[in-house]
Homo-oligomer: A and B are copies of this chain.
Amino acid sequence: MATIYEVSELAGVSLATVSRVINNSGKVTPATREKVEAAMRELGYRPNSIAQSLASNRSNSVGVLVPELHGPFFGSMLGSIEDELRAYGKHVIITAGHSDEEKEKDSIGFLVSRQCDALILHVYAVSNDFVTDLHESGTRVALIGRDLPQMAANCICIDNEQGQYLATKSLIELGHTQLAYIAGPLWKSDGQQRMAGFRRALAEHGQPFDERCVAEGNYQEASGQRAMRRLLERRVPFTGLVCANDVMAAGAIVVVRESGMTLPRDLSVIGFDNVFFTRYMHPALSTINYPIAEMGQMAARCVLRDVYGVEGLEIRNRFEPQLVSRGSTALLGA
């Protein structure tokens, strides 16, 4: 690969001038600009962005850390982040943290050492303090799914508690008085918040909370199946099932059908997230909309604004969950 040196040689100018035309910085006579561009064309020159980063101390790349790459949820987020950043010529380095503290820290370390100009994080395992420390030590961070007062302007979040509350309330309003809940992992903040929303809805409508009607999962499909089996084994009857995410709901429904029930006649099920495949399910899954793509876009815009000085971007930090009623929930007894 040709270097800037060869270009300057061929064009008969100095390194600095070539650099100026590459970066459109400083003053360059149209004539010499043309000479340089011709030389670059002739050599098929592309600047070595590693060297650019090292010299300029910015890399035009932003690091993204998500829990998982597979599955429906984070793909949407990554897609919107890449789209938004790419429109401004920035690029994306992606790592998966697998909700493991070591791995999350390791990934962050990698992204930082990789000179990412900023980080967009959707993390679970790492503590709030770790994130604020990172932020306060000068690393530019946008956070999705957590709200930290010290860096509120860079947090993009949604009210999980309220979302689960809405979901639960919708079933109660359909006449269901016996509800079961498949919770997310209770060591994760959103898992706790969603559980709290479930309980609040029960409490507000004077319904008792029964531990036997709750099973904890880990947001993955198989855990939804296991949770459903456990719920059925306990033989406490219920007519409505609230799930902390769509994927577990899909898993649970497999088990529901295995045991001979029909949706929504024998059981109303509601999920959470509104991932794309919920509308392919039959009956289509009722759920709570979690605008993850839009949230990713907002995180990207935070970065564009704070780090790259792009102006005039509309940014929303807080999103409201919304009920999406579809065929999987129905009036009790209908």
Q: How far is the CB of A277 from chain B (nearest CB, A)?
A: 4
At the interface with chain B, which of A4-12, A35-43, A108-116? A108-116
1/0 contact string of A75-114 vs chain B (CB within 8 Å) = 1101110110010000111111000000000000110111
Copy number in the complex reads 2
For residue A324, CB closer than 8 A to chain B, the reply is no
Q: A70-B75, A82-B69 are in contact. Are A91 and B95 (CB under 8 A)?
A: yes
Cβ-closest chain B residue relative to A283: B282
Contact partners of A257 in chain B: CB under 8 A = 282
Pick the contact of A74: B59, B75, B283 (CB < 8 A).
B75
Q: How far is the CB of A45 from chain B (nearest CB, A)?
A: 10
Contact A115 B48 (CB under 8 A): yes
What's the Cα separation between A257 and B86 when bound, in Å? Answer: 39
Given contacts A48-B54, A48-B113, A72-B72, 4 further A-B contacts (CB under 8 A): A49-B115, A50-B53, A82-B96, A254-B279
Q: A46-B113, A53-B50, A113-B48 are in contact. Are A70 and B76 (CB under 8 A)?
A: yes
For residue A253, CB closer than 8 A to chain B, the reply is yes
User: Which of the four size classes fits the interface of chain A?
Assistant: 35 or more
A residues with CB within 8 A of B:
1, 46-51, 53-54, 59, 61, 68-72, 74-76, 78-80, 82-83, 86, 91-96, 109-110, 112-115, 221, 250, 253-254, 257, 276-277, 279-283, 293
Q: How far is the CB of A279 from chain B (nearest CB, A)?
A: 7
Contact A93 B96 (CB under 8 A): no
What's the Cα separation between A50 and B56 when bound, in Å? Answer: 11
Cβ-closest chain B residue relative to A281: B280
Contact B293 A280 (CB under 8 A): no
Contact A78 B82 (CB under 8 A): no
Contact partners of A79 in chain B: CB under 8 A = 68-70, 96
Contact B115 A50 (CB under 8 A): yes
What's the Cα separation between A75 and B47 when bound, in Å? Answer: 31
Q: How far is the CB of A202 from chain B (nearest CB, A)?
A: 28
What's the Cα separation between A74 and B70 when bound, in Å? Answer: 8
The list of the 10 closest CB pairs from A to B, nearest first, reads: A70-B79, A277-B277, A69-B79, A282-B282, A75-B75, A250-B280, A69-B78, A50-B115, A49-B113, A94-B94
Contact B54 A82 (CB under 8 A): no
Contact partners of A70 in chain B: CB under 8 A = 75-76, 78-80, 276, 293
